[in-house]
Structure 1
Amino acid sequence: MSLSYISELKAFLTEEQVITNPALTQKLSRDYYWYSPILEEELKDKKADVVVIPKNLVEIEQILALAFKHKQPVLFKGSATGNYGQIVPLQGGILIDTKLLNKVIEMKPGEVRVEPGVKLGMLEKSLRENGQELCIFPSTYLKATAGGFVSGGSGGIGSITWGNLWDGNVIELTILTMEEKPNKLIISGNELLNYIHSYGTTGFIAEIVFRTSEKTEWTQKIVAFEKLEDSLRFSEELAYEFAIQKRSVSTCEWPIPSFFKPLSKFIQEDKHIVIIEINEEACDQLQRLVEEWNGKVTHTIPAEQYHKGLTLSDYTWNHTTLWALNANEQMTYLQASFDLNRYIDQVELIQKQFKDEFYQHFDWMLMDGKVVPQSIPLIRFTTKERLDEIVCFCESIGIKIFNPHTYLLEEGGWEAHISSVLRTKEKNDPHDLLNPGKIGVTLSEIVD
């Protein structure tokens, strides 16, 4: 990066807002891609040339205009809790840290408008103090930012009732384009698909309007089972029991529960567990379901202690992988959708084929109005070739794999939308400066 370029940045930003120290830019250019041993090798040396910390949208517009003038790559950073290298610069350039863009702009029944740097934990707390709550949020919600979740996430806590981000949980986005003079766009409806989970390749997310719901008093429980099938059938029935209001249903095959060290006194040896969040008013109904499937409640966090101290959502979704990595650095993961009509058979086939290489972990969710056994299984990693064999076997028995070991958007499960995303990028970012390299195909290749 030229000195003149840095001088131009410092003409409207302070010294503290412009970071060029190589060690610090390296640190700030990382997310949780090291969950994947493959991405760890591919991305470990990648970093931005400069990190900037704007205080407002005027400064964002100036940075984008300057980057366009100098044809410099631009990426956007929240709290860096993503897992696929979404924020990692492949070609250097400018990394924009959004941490100072952290205002809650407006809160009203059914929705909340925020800046991208707002932390979801703080937002959830504020909403609940005002009788509302987020419909969905990631297990990393205490650190994760609104913009990071929309740009790189999909679902999480609450998805069992409300689905993914694109299922109406993002109502509107304000976008800045990457042009000589950045244009401000108001995006809603089906067009949101070109910006949600697009890794910031189609524009800068300046404001977000999330759907919210009325505050519920949530109780958290751990239920233990002797048989894996009983834990899965219990989870399925609970997921389908729409009379029980719920926020999370997460099923973990043994030995996954053994990785949850802070929960050790509530975990029984060789028992499979289901971690749930339900409306406290449904506890009696839940208990009947537990008994029907030969389960046993081993721990309860009552509603009055919800998200005060220990919280069970810290052991669901991809937090499960983090606990496994803390216990055994050879562990990694996949992301998958099983077939609801035959998932038990699919589980048995995997157990027979891979034994202790593959541990089942399901986070049940609603997708297009249907219950889906969404899975983030844990894998004992040996080689990339062996991981590819596991993926091929899963796909051969009807399991859809969303590859978390790639930084390419279209290879991680977004292939159905990639042509529309590329058309939007071509319009909003004509010189391909927004997170370049994270889409590995072109429109002409798709058409051909």
Structure 2
Amino acid sequence: MAIGWEKDMLDLVGDEGLLLDAGSRTRLSKDYYWYSPVLEPKLREKLADGVALPSTEEELVKVLSFAYRRSIPVTVRGAGTGNYGQAVPLQGGLVIDLSRMDRILELGGGTARVQCGVKLGTLERRAREAGWELRIYPSTFMKATVGGFVCGGSGGIGSVTWGNLWDGNVLEAVVYTMEAEPRRLVVRERELYDYIHNYGTTGIVTELVIPLAPRTEWMQSVVQFPELAWAVQFGETLAADGSIAKRLVSPMEWPIPAYFTPIVSRFQPGEAAVLLETADGTSEAVRRLAEDFGGRIGHATEAAEYRKSIGLSDFTWNHTTLWALKSDPGITYLQAGFSPADYLEQIRMIKAAFGSEVLLHFEWIRSGGVLTPSSLPLVHYRSEERLYEIIAFFEQHGVRIYDPHTWVLADGGRGEAGSMSRRKRLNDPRGLLNPGKLTAAPAEGEGGAAHGHG
């Protein structure tokens, strides 16, 4: 393979700093885009020309400066646990794997300062040893990196209490620009919105400060209900109850729990279930509340067993999709925001229209302070046309869809429209950072609006 610049880069970073073999390039050009039958055929052949492995900011600067001078596209990856092709190089070039930048720099006093490649599972363990814990994390947290989560995720376990990434769960970031002499930026407050969920398009995040929560001893429960509507209403009431500390409130309809092979015996066949993590000592309060909605606790794991074996959170969020795919490769998923006021009617209409073609599970979260029934519905996939008919139905009935079957990033994240594209022009003047992922906003004075899907 001849790509023109490999020898010069090898001279710059050495044999251990650049991978050119086909196996490494294939493995490190992939993420979990195959969750989507729409994305899989479009992305399977996309491949980096080389993979750089910097272990310090100084090495990263050398690589970025070299790539800028040669106009080489750059795609950054953490652990590659994203689902939309965030880490897939659409135009070849370099993948920069930041997993070697994995030092915990400071931990304590309610915050952690870490390099981007620190695994969230490692940080959770270290934090709990010190009397703290992560506020929010994805279901992939044992593999996922802090940088990958901040730049590719949104929320997760803990969001029922602490909200999403934009809700004060990132305090500071160190970001490098893509220029001949990359600038080191220290970003805080609202400016962070241009870098959260940015797919590495506006700058490369190398260091983060995130807030921690005091360590809590968590028990886990499966609460069973004859009807999904009762399960979701119970979840809402529990999520809103400030007297019961919680990390996870995940209602789902049957037969979704039947896909959870390692723990299927914990569920009553035919019944909806709510998977919970609540503070030790709350079982009686949870039981009483469940009974108010016609439910009962079907299984409980004491706090002393937390993290000692597979946990309920390993079957929630998008791990629900993973377990379903293991049983039925014909399943895919959507990302949906139901109405806090009208979700029961929305559930009724969706089930009446699609029956078992669409299976619903929810995560009660706080988004911008508002308690919200977020959902990752499972869909028995028939065709791309049918999938978008389902999406259209959801949207016609007030359910917002965050399309997981496109790699195009919603410009601006939670900020103003066009903000992220304007930042990209400032930080990446040649458009080399993960090209093709961010829909361009018009330049100043051109008018119009940016668009895209997250």
- TM-score, length of structure 1 as denominator length: 0.97
**Alignment partner, residue 205 of structure 1:** 205
Flag the 1:36–1:417 CA change in 2: closer, same or farther, 3 A: farther
Alignment of 1:240-389 (within 5 A): 240-389=240-389
State the secondary structure of the residue aligned to 2:85: coil
The 5-angstrom pairing of residues 3-42 of structure 1 reads 5-42=5-42
Counterparts of 2:218 and 2:241, CA distance in 1:
16
Cα deviation code 1:33-61 (max 9, x no counterpart): 00000000110100110011112111000
Distance 2:173 2:102 in 1: 15
Letter of the 1:155 partner, please give it.
G
- Matched residue, 2:452: none
Please identify, of 252-261 and 280-289, the stretch whose mean Cα deviation from structure 2 is larger.
280-289
| CA distance in structure 2 between the partners assigned to 1:287 and 1:213 by the alignment | 26
| Other-structure match for 1:70 | 70
Once the 2 structures are TM-superposed, how far is the Cα of residue 161 of structure 1 from its aligned partner? Answer: 0.4
Q: Identify the residue that residue 177 of structure 1 maps to in structure 2.
A: 177
Cα shift at 1:418: 4.7
Structure 1 position 75, deviation (Å): 1.1
- The Cα shift of 1:16 comes to 2.6
Secondary structure of 2:371 counterpart:
strand
Aligned partner of 1:447 in structure 2 is 448
Amino acid at match of 1:353: A
Q: Which whole-Å CA distance do the structure 2 matches of 1:58 and 1:8 have between them? A: 18
How far apart are 1:86 and its partner, in Å?
0.1
SS of equivalent residue, structure 2 residue 282: helix
Distance 2:381 2:417 in 1: 30
Could you say which residue in structure 1 is the equivalent of 2:432? Answer: 433
Q: CA contact under 8 A between 2:421 and 2:439: conserved in structure 1? A: no
Distance 1:348 1:131, change over 3 A: same
The answer to whether the 8 A contact 2:221-2:277 is kept is: yes
Would the aligned equivalents of 2:360 and 2:375 in 1 still touch at CA under 8 Å?
yes
Question: Aligned equivalents of 1:202 and 1:109: distance in 2?
Answer: 31
Give 1:410's aligned residue.
410
Percent identity of equivalent pairs? 44
User: What letter matches 1:223 in structure 2?
Assistant: V
Indicate if the aligned counterparts of 2:413 and 2:420 stay in contact, CA closer than 8 A.
no
Task: Tell whether 2:190 aligns with 1:190.
Answer: yes
Q: In the aligned structure 2, how far is the partner of 1:438 from the partner of 1:77?
A: 14
- Secondary structure of the structure 2 residue equivalent to 1:221: strand
The residue type equivalent to 2:85 in the other structure is G
* Residues 250-297 of structure 1, C-alpha deviations (whole Å, 9 max, x = no match): 011111010000012112110111001011132221111111112121
Instruction: Give the CA deviation at 1:227.
Output: 1.3
Is 1:79 aligned to 2:79, yes or no?
Answer: yes
Which of structure 1's runs of 4+ aligned residues deviate more than 6 A?
A: none
Give the unaligned 5+ runs of structure 1: none
Deviations 1:110-157 (A, max 9, x none): 110000110000000000000001110001000000110011000000
**Farther-moved stretch of structure 1 (434-443 vs 347-356):** 434-443
Contact 1:409 1:415 in 2 (8 A): no
Give the alignment's Cα RMSD to 1 decimal. 1.5
8 Å CA contact 1:12–1:59 kept in 2: the answer is no
Pairwise mapping of residues 90-101 of structure 1 onto structure 2 (< 5 A)? 90-101=90-101
Q: Is the 8 A contact 1:76 1:98 kept in 2?
A: yes
Match of 1:365, SS state, is strand
Cα distance, 1:27 vs structure 2: 1.6
Contact 1:194 1:417 in 2 (8 A): no
| Amino acid in structure 1 at the alignment position of 2:184 | K
Aligned position for 2:423: 424
Shift in CA distance, 273/103, structure 1 to aligned 2, threshold 3 Å = same
Q: Report the CA distance between 1:416 and its aligned residue.
A: 6.1
5+ residue gaps, structure 2: 450-454
> For the residues of structure 1 that align with 2:283 and 2:307, how far apart are their CA atoms?
18
Deviations 1:12-37 (A, max 9, x none): 32313211112320121000000000
Q: Report the AA paired with residue 24 of structure 1.
A: S
Cα offset for 1:5?
1.8
What's the CA shift for 1:206? 1.1
Structure 1 counterpart of 2:126, one-letter code? S
**8 Å Cα contact 2:217-2:303 kept in structure 1:** yes
The separation in 1 between residues aligned to 2:177 and 2:103, in whole angstroms, is: 21
Contact (CA 8 Å) 2:196, 2:413: kept in 1 or not? no
Residue of structure 2 in register with 1:163 after alignment: 163
TM superposition score normalised by structure 2: 0.96
**2: distance between equivalents of 1:35 and 1:329?**
9
Other structure's SS at 2:13 match: coil
Moved more, 402-411 or 70-79: 402-411
Per-residue CA distance 1:285-331 (angstroms, 9 max, x = gap): 11111111121212212111111111110001000000111110010
**Partner deviation per Cα, 1:345-382 (whole Å, 9 max, x = no partner):** 11010111011111111001001211000010100100
SS at match of 2:167: helix
CA distance in 1, matches of 2:89, 2:229: 43
**Aligned partner of residue 12 in structure 2, secondary structure:** coil
Offset from partner CA, 1:217-255 (integer Å, 9 cap, x none): 111111111111111111111111111110010011111
SS of alignment partner, residue 100 of structure 2: coil
The answer (yes or no) to whether the contact 2:38–2:405 under 8 Å persists in 1 is yes
Q: Aligned partners of 1:4 and 1:268: how far apart in 2?
A: 61
Once the two structures are TM-superposed, the CA of residue 168 in structure 1 deviates from its matched residue by 0.5
Q: 1:20 to 1:418 in 2, by over 3 A?
A: farther
1:95-174 maps to which residues of 2 (within 5 A)?
95-174=95-174
